[in-house]
Chains A and B, each alone.
Chain A
Amino acid sequence: MEISTKQILKILYVLSWIIFVGVCVEAGGFIFNTFFTLVINPVDAKHFWPGIDFSSLYRYDPGHFFAQTLLMIIVAVMRSLIFYLIVKVLHDKKLNMAQPFNNEAGLFIFRLSYLSLATGLFSWWGVKYAGWLTTKGVPMPDIQHMRLAGADVWLFMGVTLFVIAQIFKRGVEIQTENELMI
């Protein structure tokens, strides 16, 4: 049985929705728990998220706790945005296989590249910040649990997508020229 592009896109659409909901829950959870810990009950820092115990960090300095969680929130929100863009493009059916080089698709790749680059930079910053806090004697959770791992991959993806976006931009120009050739 031959699997067509349409079927693959449909499967990717479902998968993207599932991942989108997951990353949104994560981002929302980080935001809520940060607010809850800082404003309502500081004990919540111990059970910040599965695998994350920020009680030592909170005891060390609530300001550093806020900065570290803010970096985690930024990364989580950007990941949600990436998947929102993917879900939106697949939902609106803006990927026209007959004429693939259109402005919407070009803009989509550009946005993905910027978001990936930003996610990579903030992840890298978060990891460095956690490392610095460790040198100050604050026991920090694993970066894998803080969802900050993979900064290099995000940066690599961002740069690759940026190059593809530039090529795509030229493709859009060529297609437009071709359409206007009588």
Chain B
Amino acid sequence: MPIIVNLDVMMAKRKMSLNELSEKVDLTLANLSILKTGKAKAIRFSTLESICKALDCQPGDLLEYANK
């Protein structure tokens, strides 16, 4: 899929672990892992909003379009 999820990059920048993020955004580790590994097919605006809030970033920091 040409949409790349840069969640791991943002987590590294904020020095936040997956467990910590999971608690803050109220998502299961399994779901966060699906998102992080790029297996997710879609993301809800509400989920994106809570992740942006927790990581203090913009949606564009998390998602990237790469034409391959």
Give A residues with C-beta under 8 Å from B. Answer: 176-177, 180-182
Q: Which listed residue (B27, B41, B47) contacts A177, Cβ 8 A?
A: B41
> Contact size class for B?
10 to 19
Whole-angstrom CA separation of A177 from B27 in the bound complex: 18
Which residues on the A side are within 8 Å of B32 (C-beta)? 182
Tell me the dominant secondary structure on chain A's binding face.
Answer: mixed
User: Looking across the interface, which residue of chain B has its beta carbon closest to that of A179?
Assistant: B41
Give 23 pairs: A residue, B residue, CB < 8 Å, sorted on A: A176-B41, A177-B41, A177-B42, A180-B34, A180-B39, A180-B40, A180-B41, A180-B42, A181-B40, A181-B41, A181-B42, A181-B43, A181-B44, A182-B27, A182-B31, A182-B32, A182-B34, A182-B35, A182-B40, A182-B42, A182-B43, A182-B44, A182-B47
Distance in angstroms from A61 CB to nearest chain B CB is 62
* Most-contacted residue by chain A among B27, B31, B39, B41 (CB, 10 A): B41
* Most-contacted residue by chain A among B27, B39, B42 (CB, 10 A): B42
Whole-angstrom CA separation of A180 from B40 in the bound complex: 5
* Most-contacted residue by chain B among A176, A177, A180, A182 (CB, 10 A): A182
Which residues on the B side are within 8 Å of A176 (C-beta)? 41
User: Looking across the interface, which residue of chain B has its beta carbon closest to that of A176?
Assistant: B41
Distance in angstroms from B33 CB to nearest chain A CB is 10
Which residues on the A side are within 8 Å of B31 (C-beta)? 182
Whole-angstrom CA separation of A181 from B41 in the bound complex: 6
Q: Return the CB mask of B5-43 against A: 1 if under 8 Å, else 0.
A: 000000000000000000000010001101100011111
User: Looking across the interface, which residue of chain A has its beta carbon closest to that of B27?
Assistant: A182
Which residues on the B side are within 8 Å of A181 (C-beta)? 40-44
Whole-angstrom CA separation of A182 from B26 in the bound complex: 12
